[in-house]
Amino acid sequence: MDTIQAYSLMCMIRLFEEAIERLFLEGRIMGTAHTCIGQEAVAVGTAAALETRDAMTTTHRGHGHFLARGADPKRVMAELFGRETGYSRGRGGSQMMMDPSIGFFGANGITGGSIPFATGVALDAKLRDTGRVTVCFFGDGASNQGVFHETLNLAALWKLPVLFVVENNGYAMSTPTARGLANPHIADRASAYGITGVSVDGNDFFAVRDCVAQHAAVCRAGQGPVLLECVTYRLSGHSRGDPRVYRSREEEAAAWENDPILRLETRLKADGTLTDATAKTLREKAQACVDDAIRFAESSPLPDPASLQEDLFA
Amino acid sequence: MRSVTFTQLIRETLAAELRRDPSVFLMGEDIGVYGGSFGVTRGLIDEFGPERIRDTPISEQALTGVAIGAAVAGQRPVIEIMFMDFITLAVDQLVNMAAKLHPIYGRPCPLVIRTPPGGGRGYGATHSQSLERLFAGVPGIKIAAPSNATDASALLQTAIRDNNPVLFLEHKLLYPQRFDVEDDLPTPLPFGFARVAREGEDLTIVAWSHQAFIAERAAAQLAAEGIDAEVIDLRTLCPLDIDTLAESARRTGRVMILEEGPKTGGFAAEIAAQIMEHAHEYLEKPVRRIAGADFPIPSAKNLEAACLPAYDDILALAREWMG
Ligand SMILES: Cc1ncc(C[n+]2csc(CCOP(=O)(O)OP(=O)(O)O)c2C)c(N)n1
Ligand SMILES: [Mg+2]
């Protein structure tokens, strides 16, 4: 993935998420969703550093990760619309989508629930010696779950090729990191398990990409897991309809100055990789892709309730 | 024919499955050199090594979640939860991940969770429970609860080859019991077929796991008194063989259900309801449950006995009905 592709992908994820927020307001999609506006550099930076054989698990805030990994936006959108053509045929919704054929193993909507799951994918890689690295995304809030600690210990003990990527986006729902974590430096937790812990600017596409590449190589070399903390900020609300009463508009305005897309764009323009005109064209293409996805989803058939009868068991 | 303990036949079955399929591996606490709390995996590490007979830290949620991830990635993990009581720490992974994989994501999850439920050993309130009820109401998890060595072996083979999560109950009182079995391991047994352990015309006793073992003995004693009891050993709770149950209920008109766990909210209640739905017009007597007390299982021998379903209650109810 070159930087122009990365830029396009980050724009597409942003526009996808903005569309989701709009579609909720318009009552065209139901349920809930958690958008990753402001965190696109983590998703795309990580995906840019991975190989085809690698794997990824996500969280409730997972559209960006999935799209960055190569999901078809049409099928993600169709899942949100509850259509047969969605990744989980409308059964999963926003938080439950998976496509192992592109090394994407999804999430399940339980905060922290994917942490051992990802580690099991890594155990498989070790047992079959496939050289696969599994990236396990989770949030600052999830790092307070007991299973995070259980799993880091186990993964370190067995030297499993799993890269734990915690997106410290400042909040777990309404709880600021400083009020949820006795030590808000999540990377420090690595030392408790004798593994490397690194913190990186999660709004810097290049920093994330290079850091993931460097530490994925460590995992791949059989030296065990690494805990990578990407410090970022959730510019969107927690989920649909979040009035964001727990933080000020001033704080948000300052955070928008640090928008990862803006930062990448500025940098690419400064080094001559991107012009205003190409940036505009790329954004329009990304918007067209999202619009297509919505059209595809809305024109897809509803799932057939009768199909549930046969599918409880494999 | 030969005589083996339940433990021995489970161990032989695990070994055979490990030999048959390289994607099968075992994982649990102290299952390696130590051989597991009940000695079921004793010696397996010598043949299969520590990668496939994998000791874990005391982290039930993590080890269960790791097994689920490995299963989805292509392995066939068989995990051991040392006592069924400890499965509470793994409930999230089983209920929110394993059970959802096929119905929601369309992904197979070939996982077996072996665990010993049950009291009778004085282990106390947190090492004696029968918690299958926690999972019976969670669509997406199969439950096997054999009462004898041959069924256990046959069902365990099926469980390991199945592409779904299977909770596999090995009642701790069955482990040391000896059974006459064929020289070769039995062939795998499909789930969802109850065993008519004894045919009878007067009344039906429905049970699973160790209670089915007890029911057979009770029926033999009743036979000596001239009461002809049919014993149905469910073998699997999910899927449930309601056809066999309903047929028997229609024929005898009297059904008692044995359950080791507390009476309230148990699986016996579910069976009773299904029998009512399928056969109520044939019933001579209301369906009755003989079950554990609604109290945590105490440790002292006499207190524990007071909280487990009583053998004599089976006989007494049969005599009351047929007297
Ligand atoms: C076990 C569990 N507890 C609570 C929730 C409700 N919940 C969903 S997301 C969330 C916040 C998670 O925070 P974090 O891990 O930091 O991720 P972020 O939302 O910031 O991406 C909460 C409390 C849940 N889904 N699962
Ligand atoms: Mg957070």
Give B131-152 pLDDT, tens digit per residue: 999 999 999 999 999 999 999 9
Does a structural domain hold residue A313?
no
Provide the shortest C-alpha distance from residue A125 to chain B (in Å): 8
Does residue B129 sit in the same domain as residue B256? no
Structure tokens at A150: 């259980």
A61 lines ligand 1 (CB under 6 A): yes
The pLDDT-based confidence of A151 (bands split at 50, 70, 90) is very high
DSSP string, A243-283: --TTS-HHHHHHHHHT-HHHHHHHHHHHTTS--HHHHHHHH
Q: pTM of the prediction?
A: 0.97
pLDDT tens figures, A269-291: 999 999 999 999 999 999 999 99
Q: What is the pLDDT of residue A110?
A: 98
Task: List pLDDT tens digits, range A9-48.
Answer: 999 999 999 999 999 999 999 999 999 999 999 999 999 9
Q: How far is the CA of A172 from the centre of ligand 2 (A)?
A: 4
In terms of CA atoms, which chain B residue is nearest residue A91?
B104
Mean pLDDT, range A190-206, rounded to an integer: 98
- Domain match, B153 and B276 both: no
B60 is annotated as an active-site residue: yes
Ligand 1 atom with minimal separation from the A142 CA: 15
Instruction: Give the CATH number, domain containing residue B220.
Output: 3.40.50.920
Out of B59, B71, B93, the one facing A153 most closely (by C-beta) is B59
Q: Is A109 in the pocket of ligand 1 (CB under 6 A)?
A: yes
A140 lines ligand 1 (CB under 6 A): yes
Q: What is the pLDDT of residues B253-296, one digit of tens each?
A: 999 999 999 999 999 999 999 999 999 999 999 999 999 999 99
A314 domain residue, yes or no: no
Whether B186 maps to a domain, the answer reads: no
The beta-strand segments (E) located in B74-193 are: 76-80, 111-115, 142-144, 165-169, 178-181
Q: What is the pLDDT of residues A37-50, one digit of tens each?
A: 999 999 999 999 99
Report how far ligand 2's centroid is from the alpha carbon of A240 (Å): 15
**Helix, coil or strand: residue A295:** helix
Whether B26 is in a domain gets the answer yes
**B103: closest chain A residue by CA:** A312
Is residue B132 located within the same domain as residue B236?
no
Judging contacts by C-beta atoms under 8 Å, the chain A residues touching residue B29 are none
Distance of alpha carbon A86 from alpha carbon A78, whole angstroms: 4
pLDDT digits (tens, 9 = 90+) for B168-226: 999 999 999 999 999 999 999 999 999 999 999 999 999 999 999 999 999 999 999 99
Could you say which ligand is closest to the alpha carbon of residue A242?
1
* B41-86 pLDDT per residue, tens: 999 999 999 999 999 999 999 999 999 999 999 999 999 999 999 9
For residue A200, tell me if it sits in a domain.
yes
Whole-angstrom Cα distance, residue B98 to residue A65? 22
pLDDT at B198: 98
Tell me which residue in A88, A121, A312 faces B69 most closely, judged by beta carbons: A121
At residue B226, the pLDDT reads: 97
**Can you tell me the distance from the alpha carbon of B315 to that of B221, in angstroms, rounded to the nearest whole number?**
8
In-domain check, residue A62: yes
Please give the average per-residue pLDDT across B243-256, as a whole number. Answer: 98
- Do B49 and B147 lie in one domain? The reply is yes
Q: Which two three-digit tokens encode residue A223?
A: 């030296």
Predicted local distance difference test score (pLDDT) of residue B105: 97
Interface check for B192 against chain A (CB to CB < 8 A): the answer is no
Which residue, of B146, B181, B216, is where some domain finishes? B181
SS3 category, B78: strand
Q: Is the CB of A63 under 6 A from ligand 1?
A: no
Q: Output the pLDDT for position B4.
A: 98
Are B171 and B212 within one domain? Answer: no
B236 plus B117 within the same structural domain: no
Query: Which residue range is the domain that position B137 belongs to?
Result: 2-181
CATH of the domain at A237: 3.40.50.970
Could you give the CA distance from residue B36 to residue B40 in angstroms, rounded to a whole number? 6
Which residues is A172 bridged to in the sheet? A175
Clarify whether B127 is annotated catalytic: yes
Confidence grade of residue A306 (pLDDT, cut at 50, 70, 90):
very high
Flag whether B141 is in a domain: yes
Are A88 and B105 inside 8 Å of each other by CB?
yes
Query: Cα distance from B158 to chain A (closest Cα, Å)?
Result: 13
> Which of the residues B29, B80, B127, B171 is marked catalytic?
B127
CATH number of residue B14's parent domain: 3.40.50.970
Beta bridge partners of A138: A166
Confirm or reject: Cβ of A233 under 6 Å from ligand 1: no
Shortest CA gap B312–chain A (Å):
40
Expressed in angstroms, the distance from the first to the final Cα of chain A is: 36
Percent of chain B with pLDDT over 90: 100
Q: Is residue B244 part of a domain?
A: yes
Confidence of residue B28 (pLDDT cuts 50, 70, 90): very high
For residues B282 and B241, give the distance between their C-alpha atoms in angstroms, rounded to a whole number: 19
pLDDT at residue A179, rounded to an integer: 96
- Whether residue B269 sits in one domain with residue B159: no
Residue A259's pLDDT is 98
Q: Which domain range does residue A239 map to?
A: 3-305
What is the Å distance from ligand 2's center to A66 Cα? 18
Q: Is residue B190 situated within a structural domain? A: no
Q: Is residue B92 part of a domain?
A: yes
Number of structural domains in chain B: 2
Q: What is the pLDDT at residue A94? A: 97
Whether the complex's predicted ipTM surpasses the cut of 0.95? yes
- Per the domain annotation, does A28 fall within a domain? yes
* Contact partners, residue A264, CB within 8 Å, separation at least 6: A3, A6, A7, A10, A41, A205
Please check whether residues B177 and B200 belong to one and the same domain. no
Nearest-ligand number for the alpha carbon of A34: 1
Between CA B248 and CA B215 the distance in angstroms is 15
Q: From the candidates B29, B60, B170, B230, which is the catalytic residue?
A: B60
Sign of CA dihedral A263, A268, A270, A271: positive
Ligand 1 site-directed mutation target among A57, A61, A111, A171, most atoms within 8 Å of CB: A111
Chain B residues in contact with A153 by the CB 8 A cut-off are 57, 59, 62
| Same domain as B222, residue B140 | no
Separation in Å, CA of B105 to nearest CA in chain A: 5
Q: What is the pLDDT of residues A100-148, one digit of tens each?
A: 999 999 999 999 999 999 999 999 999 999 999 999 999 999 999 999 9
* Paired residues of A167 in beta bridges: A139, A230
Same domain, B14 and B135: yes
pLDDT value for A240: 86
Tokens 């999901």, residue?
Answer: A71
pLDDT digits (tens, 9 = 90+) for B308-321: 999 999 999 999 99
Q: What atom in ligand 1 is closest to the CA of residue A168?
A: 16
Nearest Cα residue in chain B from A136: B69
For residue B187, being part of any structural domain is answered with no
Cα torsion B185, B190, B194, B196: sign: negative
Task: Kindly state whether residues B115 and B244 are assigned to the same domain.
Answer: no
Residue range B101-118, pLDDT digits in tens: 999 999 999 999 999 999
Residue A275 in domain = yes
- Put simply, the answer to whether A100 touches B73 (Cβ < 8 Å) is yes
Half-sphere exposure of B241 (CA within 13 A, CB side): 21
Query: pLDDT at position A241, please?
Result: 84
Q: Would you state the pLDDT for residue A57?
A: 98
CA A166 to ligand 2 center in whole angstroms: 9
Residues of chain B positioned with their CB less than 8 A from the CB of A120:
65-73
**A312 in a structural domain:** no
Instruction: Give pLDDT, residue A279.
Output: 97
Q: What b/e readout covers B188-222, taking b as 16+ CB neighbours within 10 angstroms?
A: bbebbebbebbebebbbbbbbbbbbbbbbebbeeb
Count of domains in chain A? 1
pLDDT score at B65: 98
Tell me the per-residue pLDDT of A211-230, one tens digit each, with 9 for 90 and over: 999 999 999 999 999 999 99
B163 with B204, same domain: the answer is: no
In tens, the pLDDT along A69-112 reads 999 999 999 999 999 999 999 999 999 999 999 999 999 999 99
The predicted model gives A190-219 an average pLDDT of: 98
| Cα A234 to middle of ligand 2, angstroms | 8
pLDDT at B323: 87
